[in-house]
Amino acid sequence: MASDLMSMGGLEFSLNAITVLVSFAAVVYWVKFFRRIALSGRQGIGWIWIFASVLMVLLLNLSAIVMFTSESVVLVGSGDTFVVEVTKMELMNTLARTIIAVSVTFGAYLLYESMGSADGMKYMFKPVQSLAEARSKAEQKFSLEPGQTYLVLSGPNVTDDAGVEWDMFVDMVTHGTYGFAITRTYPPALRERYGVVKTPILWLTKDKAFKDCIHPTSLIDLSHMVKDFISHDGKTVVLLDGLVYLISHNDFNDVLKIIQGLNDVVVQFDSRIIMPIDPEALTERQFHMLKTEAKLWVP
């Protein structure tokens, strides 16, 4: 009987010890994960609840080991053995499973609900489809260096040539380059104005009623879409027309990190990104940081 208790106690202790190590590794991973992504609204709360359940696994198993080793000890022959109270251990295991299940379920619910909420994330399940525009017979006006991100200065104090970024973009897509535009301007109006028919255009808006749109706080989703487009089609051109709008809905550093990540992909695949910006809309420090990530294009 004593040997059975010792055997059962040793197995319980070993399993809890292994679980503690795995849980600790999971906590470290989650902390690193949180430092690398931008979270907002219910989406962020949902991830925090799931993270809390991982942390709870670690704490509960540490508690189990402490409780196990602090139980009364009786002398059996020439050695000691633990007296395990099975009822107490089962109660603790049941409590742990219940708390973890509630945390994970509630976190998953918040993530799911954020997909349809106005302040949440709008998931794009389909990759951006590359479609070629009809080739223009006119001579190409703009020559953009492959593997380069361009910061196009705009605004009344910079140039009178409003919309030069769209002239650059349309010039590229009508001369054999696949393009993808993300813009704050209503896409149908842009298609009519510039004659863009097939090139995918994504609208930065909170209005979920429009088919091809993305919420301004969905930075991670936006980044994945652009990276997937570039890596799939190689020498492409991407127009990111809405930096000020993105910055107004997110922390500037989060937007900057997204741009830095896109730059890495642009260099690898000889793509190009065009980003119009009005310097007057930014602080001097913000504008300087953007300039370090892109080549200035002054019309």
Residue type, 92: M
pLDDT in tens, 50-88: 666 666 666 666 666 666 555 544 444 555 555 555 566
pLDDT in tens, 240-275: 999 999 999 999 999 999 999 999 999 999 999 999
Residue 42: the pLDDT is 47
Give the pTM: 0.61
43 in Cβ contact with 122 (< 8 Å):
no
β partners of residue 151: 275, 296
Residue type, 285: R
Specify the DSSP element, H or E, that contains 165.
Answer: helix 164-173
Q: In angstroms, what is the C-alpha Rg of the chain?
A: 28
pLDDT in tens, 220-232: 889 989 999 998 8
Q: How far apart are CA 246 and CA 196, in angstroms?
A: 24
Specify the DSSP element, H or E, that contains 12.
Answer: helix 2-36
Q: How far apart are CA 293 and CA 225, in angstroms?
A: 20
Beta strands in the chain (DSSP E): 73-76, 79-82, 148-153, 179-183, 201-204, 213-214, 237-241, 272-277, 295-297
Q: How far apart are CA 85 and CA 154, in angstroms?
A: 73
